[in-house]
Structure 1
Amino acid sequence: MTVWFEDFTVGAVARYGCYAVTREAVLAFATAYDPQPFHLSDEAAAANPIFGRLAASGWHTAAMTMRMTVERWAAMGGASLGSPGIDELRFLKPVYPGDTLTVEAEVLAARPLASRPDRGVVKTSTRTLNQHGEAVLSFTGNTFWPRRP
């Protein structure tokens, strides 16, 4: 089975994923990619007025969101052709070890590409939610998909 551009309906909302955030993963990601003290040290995080305790990097939250999204596409039997980018990326609330994340994505627009009639672009509004249903990350993304032959 393949996921086609035509499978996306404007207004459709998908809820998916279940990602448990661990202390080990927060520290490993921060060490490799975002070594700010409040991502690496309980003491520094406690002293930070925004976090109060060890918190995941926003970039780590974005990466966890991408992981859940790609796993959803794979479960649907497909993969995108890539992306021209995202807009309006926002880190809305801290993510902490022990949180469990899910994703909610709404199709905002879908249009065939005039320059490449074999594909289309789908625009989605994506929110990552914690276990309390609070949005922790949001962005608008654009993804290329093959068109049905």
Structure 2
Amino acid sequence: MNEDLQRPQGRYFEELTPGTVIRHRVTRTLTEADNVLFTTMTMNPQPLHLDHAYAAQTEFGQPLVNSLLTLSLLVGLSVHELTLGTLIANLGLTDVAFPKPVFHGDTIRAESVVLDARESRSRPGQGVVTVEHRAFNQHGEIVAQCKRTALMQKRPT
């Protein structure tokens, strides 16, 4: 079998040196259906996400996309070029922030910056990597960011 077909799309530990910036190619426009499905599926009754009449009376004047959907999308947009087939486990998310609201119809793009990488002390063949993910709307405004620590595979020998 062709070796290229067996290689994961994600990056191995050795490819994730601090300072590396990955501008993820996949983008996603969030729809009202996305927001309603995610919000109801996660049992969140917040009218700010579900009720147009209620949301119209808020400072935003319209429903907001659920921030946890925005966070999930941010991490998801990174998978193809960062962790697909090379992730062992997510170890944590920290410093989560939502500097600007996201509305139905906003198109989100993401980038990741490698902040730290070290070999695992207890797991040979693996490394711990911390990245900062940032989500931008179609106007170039940061709408979400977080730090993610992951246990990653080293390149097979």
Preserved CA contact (<8 Å) 1:5 1:119: yes
TM-score if structure 1 supplies the norm length? Answer: 0.91
1:141–1:36 Cα change, 3 Å: same
Question: Which amino acid is the alignment partner of residue 56 of structure 2?
Answer: A
Alignment match, 2:47: 37
Alignment match, 2:31: 22
The CA RMSD measured in Å over matched residues stands at: 1.5
Preserved CA contact (<8 Å) 2:78 2:112: no
1:12 to 15, 20, 29: 20
Alignment match, 1:60: 69
Alignment match, 1:138: 145
Q: Any idea what the Cα deviations from partners look like across 1:69-127, whole Å, max 9, x if unmatched?
A: 223347xx634111110111112211111100010110011100111122101111111
Question: Which amino acid is the alignment partner of residue 68 of structure 2?
Answer: W
Q: How many residue pairs were aligned?
A: 146
TM-score if structure 2 supplies the norm length? Answer: 0.86
Unaligned runs of 5+ in 2: 1-6
User: Following superposition, which runs of at least 4 residues in structure 1 exceed 6 angstroms of deviation?
Assistant: none
Unaligned runs of 5+ in 1: none
Question: Which amino acid is the alignment partner of residue 10 of structure 1?
Answer: P
Preserved CA contact (<8 Å) 1:85 1:142: yes
